[in-house]
Amino acid sequence: MIDHRDNALGIVAGLLEARTGQKLTADRLWRVGTALAGVLRQNQLDSLEALADRLSMPNQLPLAQQVVEALLNNETYFFRDRSTFDQLATSILPQLAQSRAATRRLAIWSVGCSTGQEVYSLAMLFAEQPARWRDWTIDIIGTDVARSVVAAAREGNFSQFQIQRGLGVAQMVAFFEESRTGWRASDTLRRMVRFDQHNLLDRPPEPGRFDLVLCRNVLLYFDRPTRERAFSRLASALAPDGLLMLGAGETTVGQTTALVPEKGRTGFHRLSSSVQPLAPSMAAAAGHRLAVPR
């Protein structure tokens, strides 16, 4: 039996870091007990030490995943940081409409998408301008390391509390249908979106392909070396002229050499000139279109 609370905390912290890259820093330790109370109850365990003991046994992958997911902060809401979404609608998307006019295809990746509000907010920006985006293929993929939030995002069914956060009544009525348990995203939105479980520290789903990548309120939980690795992964996901959108208060400055702020566009970043697109033949061999400095 693991007999010391500090050892038990160490096991839980090690698990979180191995699965997500996040560190359980001192300022987060105090809420571990509260965060794991439900996991203990569901598994009929009476203490953190008993949980750590169980985790040390073979074949405990489902429990390990449950513990990690209980420790993650999944806070999100529709059109979070409204001014950045306004900038997307009035400036970034019109620019993309021009630069991708020949192919009429847009690929967008929301990294750490939680229960999907960010992804459905993006889809609404397109759905609100049907004339502009008619005949375009809009592919918005949302990924998160936590399986439970990915399942919820796929379901696209939001409670009364969730639907009211960030969404106006007109948008709610236009793009969601009342269901038995809340409000379900309409088929118009669903056709543009898909969701997958993915750790952002792993190779991106489709390297070099994304015109726009959103990674908001995720990197703040990483230590500096891990954040640098994360930026390198995000950079390798971008098309050569693609943009990365970070959360309010997050920046690439002093964190990575792969990305730089986009001039005149608060919150947006692009590949730095030190990142060279690879020749197509090398890209195919490497599975990447960009050489990102590590």
Q: Are strands 193-197 and 137-144 parallel, antiparallel or unpaired?
A: parallel
Among residues 214, 55, 36, 192, the alpha carbon closest in space to that of 127 is found at 192
Phi and psi torsions of 60, nearest 5°: -110, 25
Q: Are strands 137-144 and 105-111 parallel, antiparallel or unpaired?
A: parallel
**Residue 199 binding ligand SAM, by CB under 6 A:** yes
**Residue 73 binding ligand SAM, by CB under 6 A:** yes
- Helix ranges (H only) for 176-275 are 187-190, 224-237
Q: Cβ closer to ligand SAM: 2 or 122?
A: 122
* Region near ligand SAM per CB under 6 A, out of 100-108, 153-161, 180-188, 194-202: 194-202
**Residue 164 binding ligand SAM, by CB under 6 A:** no
Query: How many residues form the binding site for ligand SAM (CB under 6 A)?
Result: 24
E strands, 10-146, in order = 105-111, 137-144
**Residue 225 binding ligand SAM, by CB under 6 A:** no
**Residue 197 binding ligand SAM, by CB under 6 A:** no
Q: How far is the CB of 117 from ligand SAM (least distance, A)?
A: 6
Q: How far is the CB of 146 from ligand SAM (least distance, A)?
A: 4
With 0-12 / 13-18 / 19 or more C-beta atoms within 10 angstroms meaning exposed / middle / buried, residue 174 is middle
Q: How far is the CB of 51 from ligand SAM (least distance, A)?
A: 20
Q: Kindly list the residues in this chain that would bind ligand SAM in the complex (CB under 6 A).
A: 20-22, 72-76, 80, 112-114, 118, 144-146, 149, 199-201, 216-218, 247
